[in-house]
Chains A and B, each alone.
Chain A
Amino acid sequence: MNVKLTKANNLLLVCLLTLAPVLADANTLERVRASNTFTLGYLPDFAPFSVQAADKAGGYAIDLCLKIADKVKTKLGLPGLQIRYQPVTVTDEISAVSSGKIDILCTPTPPTLERREAVSYSVPIYTAGLSAVVRQDASEALLNVLNGKVAHTGPTWRATVNHGLSNQTYATIVGGVTETWIRQQMQLLGVVATLVTVENTDAGLKLVAEGKADAFFAERMMLKNLLSTNYSAGDLVLLERIFEYVPTAMAVDRDDENFRLLVDTTLSEMYRSGEIEQAFDKYLGGASDMAKKLFKVYAIP
């Protein structure tokens, strides 16, 4: 008796679960067709990937999204499809996709397992690299450590100032690189480091410029972009080294393989036709040799 009842309950649960997404927001393409609008979500302060431009948006990721919108137009046969630009914030960017508030998150994010529980992802559109910005007059010890070398070489004796250990303050964006990562990377290289967190790239650079932090860790392309616009005087320097790589992609609805296929098809075609390379030239200062190799890896055959 008991067993039977549980089985029936389970069956009911399965039915409900299967229905749930359908009930929630049907599917993306149906929603677009019904409303005749395709909603692009983006972070408005994520140059050069997505930036606010009057009531629209621009940038590398927005260009790619517009290509996807073209594809949607043809696929659905809706030449008069409206494009709506919907700015989102770091905190609600993922829920905006899963709730159907936006059809696609153009601003690239790393597809983490945690995010994958709420949304699905396109093929990667950009390989993010973690790098750091230091002041022009940064100490040799700091530069050594950031370049993966031991801070102090030579004998450590009573006259070695500070016993060769340099005391540094590192800054990073909240939820970005963790303190543990920095410790692991740098403990054996002879530094004592304090980590402070900031809200965004701008605030981090400001800390370094004011001398309140010695190095700021963030995505290299964003650092480069912000340095050239806000700190052109050259008193801040971007390291050549990239500590970690992570592919980033556009978030789409988790249960909509049809739409995801459309997005991946568009992006793969762009990879093969060279359009992505053109977009790199336009927004990201050209594609490196490694980036070009990755284009081939990312494009689905």
Chain B
Amino acid sequence: MADSSKKMSLMGLTTLVTVNMMGSGIIMLPTSMAQLGAVSLLSWIVTAVGSMAIAYCFSQCGIYCPRSGGLSAYTEEAHAKSGFFLCSYLYFLSLAIANVAVAISAVGYMTSFVPWLGSGAIPLFIGTVGLLWLTTVANFGGPGITGKIGAITVWGVIIPVAGLSIIGWFWFKPDVLAAAWNPNNLPISEAISKAIPLTLWAFLGMESAAQASDAVEDPKRTVPLACLFGTLGAAVVYVLSTTVIQGIIPNAELANSSAPFALVYAHMFNPTVGNIIMALAVMACVGSLLGWQFTLAQTAKMTADQGMFLKLFSKVSTRNAPIVGMLVCGVLQTLLALSTISPNASAQFGKLVSLAAVTNLIPYVTAATGLLVMMYKAKVSAGVYTRNTVLLLVAVAYSLYALYACGKDAVFGGTLVLVFGYLLYSFLAKRFVDPSPTAQTRADNP
């Protein structure tokens, strides 16, 4: 009982997954969708279905593979130890880079409250590093505390975004939505193909439930459910909020707004409410950063537990928080944040952020495909096997399309990073060589 209070509940983990996914992306999403018109809403059909298939596969993996290690453990089922390492390595890189980017976005949104932050490169750098460390230190209290803070910051999403999905309908005018349908008069097929990239990657983050398996109560039940509910929740909120907003604010205004949620609340109530909404959105953004810093440290810890990352990442405090690993991650991210200082470096950092999406997607394929082996080991019935295999193929097809759509620059960078990972693993591989019977006595030490 005492132990479980330091761990995260189903509610806490579901919240973490939803907030992680929406993060800072949701803040500007209505604007980019409005630029294309309400026709872009059709893209949700494709992306929500594809993403739910991935979430379903992860939750099945969670059921058949309750061991620690998240995506990497699922990967190991089909792709052996090197798969475990590569998955952790790619995913760790992805989060380390993405979290810095989320911090930069959050500081950008804060400039409307603290104009100093937007006055130059140095204030931006200070703000970014400040946020990174704030969210690192907030995780020192252990998973229980992280879950509790997350339960507060999640209101930053619930009130503006989920709230809009409910109360927004009172202000909804079907003719405003109809007028916004296709403002650029694109052929429908072209409009949809332009819209899919807006929502294609909106669900990245659904795996964060699996990454937290070491830090939750009853992982065999909590992780699969949190993954499914979190993704479903995000899908519902995404679809409803981006639909209702296009029926309240005329297209031309929405397409040119730098704070669409603040705009819609200012329209429904008054500008003060708009500002409060913006502040809540920033709070949610910081909350998501907190969740991601937690996931980053957990990924490093689980990998170090397997003897594949430096041992210091697996050292936990009495409150189950890998503090030393968090400090190392913080230093690494501070170095990455230096890129905000010059425009040239931030252009380079922009390329890293695109690359990070690729290194987030490769583990999806390696982990989901592990399900085939797990089902074989668990001797599941033919019906379950067929159903899961079909959904697995949908999930992998979606992941491959998302990889393809990242574009050649991002995939090129991601591939180089992947191949470099093989070199790194080769230095570790000797640790996992099966000792031969004659050498058994000598191979006792790790």
Contacts and interface: CB of A to CB of B under 8 A. Distances in A.
Interface of A: 137, 139-140, 153-165, 167, 183, 187-188, 190, 192-194
Q: 4 shortest A-B CB distances, which residue pairs?
A: A154-B354, A163-B28, A159-B98, A157-B201
Contacts, number: 107
B31 A158 contact: no
B23 interface: yes
Contacts of B353: 154, 159-161
B105 A154 contact: no
Contacts of A159: 24, 97-99, 101-102, 105, 353, 356-357
A162 B24 CA distance: 8
A70 to B, nearest CB: 53
B142 to A, nearest CB: 25
Given A137-B343, A190-B35, A192-B31, A158 B258 contact: no
B22 interface: yes
Nearest to A141: B350
Contacts of A140: 347, 350
Given A153-B407, A192-B256, A161 B200 contact: no
B410 interface: yes
Contact of A155 (B183, B184, B288, B406): B406
Interface in B34-58: 35-36
B405 interface: yes
Contacts of A188: 35-36, 184, 194
Given A158-B205, A159-B105, A188-B35, 20 more contacts: A153-B407, A153-B409, A154-B353, A154-B406, A154-B407, A155-B357, A155-B402, A155-B405, A156-B198, A157-B357, A157-B360, A158-B201, A158-B288, A159-B99, A159-B353, A159-B356, A160-B354, A161-B101, A161-B105, A163-B25
A163 B109 CA distance: 12
Contacts of A157: 25, 98, 201-202, 204, 357, 360
Interface in B207-223: none
Nearest to A186: B35
Nearest to A193: B256
B32 A163 contact: yes
Nearest to B184: A188
Q: Of A154, A164, A188, which is in contact with the most chain B CB atoms at under 10 Å from its CB?
A: A154
Contacts of B183: 187
A158 B36 contact: no
A30 B202 CA distance: 75
B104 A155 contact: no
B108 interface: yes
A137 B345 CA distance: 12
A156 B257 contact: no
Contacts of A190: 32, 35
Contacts of B343: 137, 139
Given A137-B343, A165-B31, A188-B184, A158 B406 contact: no
Nearest to B413: A154
B252 interface: yes
A161 B194 CA distance: 20
B16 interface: no
A160 B198 CA distance: 11
